[in-house]
Homo-oligomer: A and B are copies of this chain.
Amino acid sequence: MEIRNASDDDWPKIYPIFRTTVEEGRTYAFPENLSLEEARPLWMETAPAVTVVAVEGDVILGSAKIGPNRPGRGSHIATASFMVDPSKQGHGVGRALGTFAIEWARSHDYRGMQFNAVVETNEPAVHLWKELGFEILTTVPGAFYHAQYGFVGLHVMYKSL
């Protein structure tokens, strides 16, 4: 597995992962039913943020975007989002992308990384972020409408860098 910057040409291969992940309704509060072009700016970042892909040869296993959580006087704290192809989960792709994101943020002099909205029932993700050093700062009650469980909380998670 290699992690490299995503190019515009990668987006048509990332998009099905984005679309499936959003439609499953268990992890992300993106709008649903977005077309290839509508979804592109929600995932493909521009500087100072970056979008990367985890690949094996020509196959995209997952993707992450990393950048400032806020502009201006909040731009020293990073944030990141992650998606792994559902058929490739459980093989360390998320861990590799998470580790990459932390290192990227450290090397770009961010002072911390904040996840604003980790669905509390997304146990593999919550477990992974804890293993990588994130703590749950709070859980906003009922802030996510889960496709199976209805209203569940969103964790704010944070790691000092």
Most buried by B among A22, A69, A77: A77
Question: Chain B interface: which of A12-20, A27-35, A93-101, A124-132?
Answer: A27-35
* Number of identical monomers bound together in the oligomeric complex: 2
- Kindly identify, within residues 36 to 69 of chain A, every residue whose CB is under 8 Å from any CB belonging to chain B: 69
- Kindly identify, within residues 90 to 144 of chain A, every residue whose CB is under 8 Å from any CB belonging to chain B: 111-112, 114, 116-117, 137-144
Interface residues on chain A, number (Cβ under 8 Å):
37
Inter-chain contact B25/A73, CB cutoff 8 Å: yes
Inter-chain contact A138/B141, CB cutoff 8 Å: no
Inter-chain contact A74/B29, CB cutoff 8 Å: yes
CA distance A151 to B110 in the complex (A): 13
Inter-chain contact A77/B156, CB cutoff 8 Å: no
Inter-chain contact B117/A140, CB cutoff 8 Å: no
CA distance A137 to B154 in the complex (A): 12
Given A138-B156, A140-B158, A156-B140: A146 touches B73 (CB 8 Å cut-off) = yes
CA distance A57 to B54 in the complex (A): 58
Question: Which residue of the partner chain, among B72, B75, B145, B158, contacts A73 with CB atoms under 8 Å?
Answer: B145
Question: Which residue of the partner chain, among B29, B70, B140, contacts A72 with CB atoms under 8 Å?
Answer: B29
Residue contacts A-B, CB under 8 angstroms, 13 given: A25-B73, A29-B70, A29-B71, A29-B73, A31-B72, A32-B72, A73-B145, A73-B146, A74-B145, A74-B154, A76-B151, A114-B143, A156-B156
Smallest CB-CB A-B distances: 8 pairs: A29-B74, A138-B138, A137-B138, A29-B70, A73-B145, A31-B71, A29-B73, A29-B72
